[in-house]
Chain A
Amino acid sequence: MTIQHALATVAGGFIFPFLIRLLWGKLVDNFGTFGGWMAAAFIVGTTWAINHGTGLIVQSEGGAWVDMAFAAGFGLLVASVVRGGNASKAMPNVLAAIVGGILGGLILSLYL
């Protein structure tokens, strides 16, 4: 991991929760449920294209896959707490995300 790659990786992590936080809710307000599908394509899809399609997030050699999802998970939690969300009330869901992620990863490893 060179310093250039490290800076690129931070930039890739920055842009994803930034776009979700500012755009996703507005799209749903404007277009209803379909706004969520538009957000999935135009926010997640397009950001995936730069972060993982072209590799702005540089993976570590021999390392497990680090998805840009980590940036969204942490960034959106931070943003909601900055805007008055209760951090301690979020902890059961943080634990559930870790348990669910481990469970999902375990099930996938059974056949992949």
Chain B
Amino acid sequence: MKFLRSVLGYAIAGMFVMSVWGPMASLESFGIIGGWFAAFAIIGPMWFLNHYVGLIPHESDSGWVDMALGIGVAGVMRDVFLAGSVDPLVATLPTLGLVILGGVLGGYVAAKVEESMEAK
């Protein structure tokens, strides 16, 4: 049941982000401020559902698996299923690798900054 809850949480977050966000941010609607508002309108309730109410369970000493991971996978897989082939996934590997590299660095440095702040 816990695994099913997690799958649901990641899938729902991924679906909202990868369907509604783009049209909200399109130039025919509101452009870049529409994308900013989409974050409020989509990430707000999805964070509340998954990480505040706790649809996605985390044990207190578990490493943190943010709903963002499901959102990222949903974006790539949407395009793969739409193309009906893995070509878009292969073509996007440079960006994917660099974004993950940046993310790992950012997370690591943030943890070190926290440690430094707590040490005073």
Contact = CB atoms under 8 A, between A and B. Distances in A.
Interface of A: 1, 6, 9-18, 20-22, 28, 33, 36-37, 39-41, 44-46, 48-49, 52-54, 57-87, 89-90, 92-109, 112
A104 B18 contact: yes
A9 B35 CA distance: 19
What is the interface of chain B mostly: helix, strand, loop, or mixed?
Answer: helix
A1 to B, nearest CB: 5
B106 interface: yes
Contacts of B64: 76-77, 79-80, 85, 90
A93 B7 CA distance: 8
Interface residues of B, number: 84
Given A14-B103, A73-B65, A104-B70, A45 B3 contact: no
A14 B47 CA distance: 21
A64 B76 contact: yes
Nearest to B58: A93
A44 to B, nearest CB: 4
Contacts of A95: 3
A98 to B, nearest CB: 6
Given A41-B36, A97-B65, A100-B6, A63 B99 contact: no
Contacts of A62: 87-88, 91
B103 A75 contact: yes
A89 B59 contact: yes
